[in-house]
Structure formats: C-alpha cells, structure tokens
Chains A and B, each alone.
Chain A
Amino acid sequence: MEVKILFFAGLREAIGAGSESLALPANVATVGALRDHLAARGEAWSVLATTKNLRAAVNQQMVDADTSIKAGDEIAFFPPVTGG
C-alpha cells in the first residue's frame, strides 16, 4: 500500500524534504501511526514527535490522528497555520 506524504514549513525544513512516496508497513493504518512510524526514523524525523500541535491532512482535508489511511492517499503533516 503506497501513499504520498507531504511536509510543510518548519517541518519541511527540519526533515530536509517536502515529499516522499512510501510503501506503508502493514501495521500503519492511521495518520497517528504513520506519524509515529516516520518519527521513529530518528534524528531530524523526531520533529514529527516533538512539534507542538502538529496538524495533519488526508487528501487535503484536515484530520485527527485516528483517521485511517488507504492506498493512494495524500497525507500531509504541518505545524499550526499562521496565514492572514
């Protein structure tokens, strides 16, 4: 099951990449589990665990951590928004 993952703003800079395609391990079925899976890569990726009020979107809709994900989804992680 492959998904597209996007990172924005301070997360993008900390991780050093704006996007990647990833074949999900079978035990990663929710947005929160994906966040934990990525954060476990260590070093720069730990920003996913330490960012306060981390936000996530699936297919460009803001979602909670317990939202399930499926093949082909576009999943984005980003800090709280600061536009306007």
Chain B
Amino acid sequence: MSVSVQEADFDVGAEIAALSAGRDDVGAVASFVGLVRADKSVEKVMPPTQPGAVCPADGGGEMAIADSHAAPAVQAMTLEHYPGMTEKALDAIVAEARGRWDVFGVRVIHRVGRLLPGDRIVFVAVASAHRGDAFAACEFIMDYLKTRAPFWKKEETPAGGHWVDARESDDQAAERWAPGKE
C-alpha cells in the first residue's frame, strides 16, 4: 500500500521507519510533510485599489505595505478529491518515479476533509540506496502531485470561503521534470 487518501492524520515517524523495516539495503529515506498554513502573507497581495485594503499610518517600508495588503488569515481548509481518480493519479505518479530513479519504496499520504492551520496535509517519503535518488524522486512526486492529482482546496477566512486558485509556479515546478530538462 504505497498510496493513501484519508481523513485521518498520520504518524510521520512510523511511516518513515516502515520504509526501511526489515531490510539492510536502504541507505536513504527522503521525506516531505506539507502543513496547512494560516498566514498567506505577501504571496497573495491584494491590488492597492482593493476596497478595504488600508495601509497603516506608519507604513513607510515595503514590508509594512505588503503586510497590510496580505490575504486574510486562513482559519480552516477543506480538501475535496475525486474518489477513484485521485488514487489512480497518485499510483501513476509513483510508478513514473519508480521508472526514473532507483527507489526501494515510496509512501504517499494525502488527507481530505476539513483541516486546521498546523495540521499535516500531505506526506511523501522515498527510500533508496543513496540520497540523490531519494531526494529527486520525493521532489518529483510532490511537484507532479500538485499539478496532476485531483485535489481542490477551499479556504475559510474571516472574509468568507473561497476555492484556491492554481498557481503558475506549481506548473513551472512540474515542468522542470519534463524530458530533457533535468
């Protein structure tokens, strides 16, 4: 069972340990844990003309201005997915990683349902003989997961709920792994 889509939290330590349990050929386990973040800060800066966007009176520096235009804090997040297709898409991504790097084991867990800031949302770990393959495969799986696996985030903020827009930077991150670009 290398891929799980579930509401429940997961035990990072136990998952990492399981990848090398009972074998002596694993030299590296690389892992990634994604968390729900409350503050979107300067990443989603509102245009200056946005109604209600007020600069602080003492806002002289760039940072102060950027902060005052920051998106409202995320109070919770709901993850929707496409049961059946999501698991297939993740299986396909793992299979592609296994074809491109020498890896012994892969574990992918993605949570769905309502999550709070600080909650774990996604886990990817790859076991290999050497760190190079483990790091690369782990990052590849995350980049492809973000652009190919059917999950959608809806954020709850003081201003209401809204579906998160896909980010061009995620497409660019996935594009790095296209043939001939490594």
Chain A: CB-nearest residue to B5: A83
- Closest Cβ–Cβ distance, residue B137 to chain A (whole Å): 16
Cβ–Cβ contact B85 & A83, under 8 A: no
Cβ–Cβ contact B166 & A83, under 8 A: no
- Closest Cβ–Cβ distance, residue B156 to chain A (whole Å): 14
- Closest Cβ–Cβ distance, residue A28 to chain B (whole Å): 22
Q: Within 8 Å CB of A9, what residues of B?
A: 80, 152, 154, 163
State the main secondary structure of chain B at its contact with A.
mixed
Q: Within 8 Å CB of A80, what residues of B?
A: 147, 165-166
Cβ–Cβ contact B147 & A81, under 8 A: yes
Interface residue tally for chain B (C-beta within 8 Å): 29
Count of chain A to chain B residue pairs whose CB atoms are closer than 8 Å in the complex: 74
Cβ–Cβ contact A83 & B79, under 8 A: yes
Q: Does B148 count as interface, using CB distance less than 8 angstroms? A: yes
Q: Within 8 Å CB of B145, what residues of A?
A: 83-84
Can you list 28 A-B contacts (CB < 8 A)?
Answer: A6-B82, A8-B82, A9-B80, A10-B152, A13-B163, A57-B82, A57-B85, A60-B82, A60-B88, A62-B148, A76-B150, A78-B82, A78-B150, A79-B152, A79-B163, A80-B165, A81-B150, A81-B151, A82-B152, A82-B163, A82-B165, A83-B79, A83-B81, A83-B110, A83-B145, A83-B151, A83-B153, A84-B170
